[in-house]
Each structure stands twice: as structure tokens, then as C-alpha cells.
């Protein structure tokens, strides 16, 4: 359950932010002849200014076109420009519409985290039911209550993080 929480926090910090950082491009997956690779594995990502990120594709020039396609389709509202093996990614100004889109994305990610949490809870309950032969029913009921309480607490924490992120994004 903690790993679900940490994954959501990490996602919020890296991808759903109005402040741009080079790390926001790390998660973009590029489809190459060698398979799917993260953009930071095939290109060197750096910030030139708060409004421009550079991706140097000198080590894998053959992947430049695939990287551009991946950046465009990332859903981050980016329009990269090419200069040889250098990809310039101008960062657009943050509009109200973009902020609302980010909030929507944050809600989707929170719902995915809740789904993952439900799977964790269900798996724990199933493991518990399998051990009915070895443990008394009272103990099983007590542990079921504890698992449910932990899941409910984590859902509440996920909702709190969503509320904080929504407030941050909408200003």
C-alpha cells in the first residue's frame, strides 16, 4: 500500500507539475528498433532556460525521429523542434485550460492508484482466506478489519494528496 502511495507522489512530482524540469521528460517512452526505451536512456536531457529543454541525441542519432514523435504524443502539450541531433523542446506558457487538464490527469492517476490499492487489498484478503485452516476465525476477522482500515486510511491519504495537488495546480 505504501508503494502505491509513493508511486502516486512520484508521478505527481515528475509529470503533473506546472513547473517544468528536465525530469518531466524522463518518463517518455521512445519506440526504437531495439524496443521501448526511456528518453533519458537514449538522449541527454538538460534545461537551457525555464522555457526551453534540450535533448541531445548525439549518442543515438537514428532515434531522433522516434524521440520527436514520442515527445509530441506524450500528452504534455509539447512541440519539439529539430536541429541536427539536438531536439529543442519549447515549454508553452501555462494557461487556465492547461491547468485544468493537469488536474484531470491528476484525478485519473489517483483513480489508477486506488485501483492498484484495491488489488493489493484483495490479494491480502485472498491470502488470509487461504490460511483459514491454520488460524482461528476471530483472528482472521481481526486481520481483515486491519487490512480494510489500512486500505481506507491509504485511500484517504491519496485523496488528501489529490486535494493538495489540485490546489497547487489551480492556484
Predicted confidence (pLDDT) at residue 10 exceeds the cutoff of 90: no
Share of the chain above pLDDT 70, in %: 96
**Angle at the Cα of 168 from the Cα atoms of 88 and 40, rounded to 5 degrees:** 30
pLDDT digits (tens, 9 = 90+) for 119-131: 999 999 998 888 8
Residue 153 near residue 34 (C-beta atoms within 8 A):
no
pLDDT of residue 110: 93
Rounded to two decimals, the pTM is: 0.65
Which pLDDT belongs to residue 19? 64
Residue found under cell 492547461: 98
Cα–Cα distance for residue pair 2/156, rounded to 1 Å: 13
Amino acid at each position: 500500500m505504501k508503494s502505491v502511495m509513493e508511486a502516486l507522489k512520484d508521478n505527481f512530482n515528475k509529470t503533473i507539475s506546472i513547473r517544468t524540469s528536465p525530469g518531466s521528460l524522463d518518463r517518455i517512452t521512445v519506440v526504437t528498433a531495439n524496443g521501448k526505451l526511456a528518453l533519458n536512456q537514449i538522449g541527454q536531457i538538460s534545461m537551457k532556460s525555464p522555457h526551453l529543454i534540450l535533448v541531445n541525441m548525439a549518442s543515438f542519432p537514428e532515434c531522433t525521429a522516434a524521440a520527436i514523435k514520442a515527445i509530441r504524443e506524450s500528452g504534455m502539450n509539447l512541440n519539439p523542434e529539430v536541429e541536427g541531433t539536438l531536439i529543442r523542446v519549447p515549454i508553452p506558457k501555462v494557461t487556465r485550460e492547461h491547468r485544468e487538464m493537469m488536474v484531470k490527469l491528476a484525478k485519473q492517476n489517483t483513480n489508477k492508484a486506488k485501483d492498484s490499492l484495491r488489488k493489493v487489498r484483495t490479494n491480502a484478503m485472498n491470502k488470509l482466506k487461504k490460511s483459514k485452516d491454520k488460524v482461528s476465525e476471530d483472528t482472521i476477522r481481526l486481520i481483515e478489519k486491519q487490512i480494510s482500515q489500512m486500505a481506507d486510511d491509504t485511500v484517504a491519504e491519496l485523496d488528501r494528496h489529490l486535494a493538495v495537488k489540485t490546489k497547487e495546480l489551480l492556484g
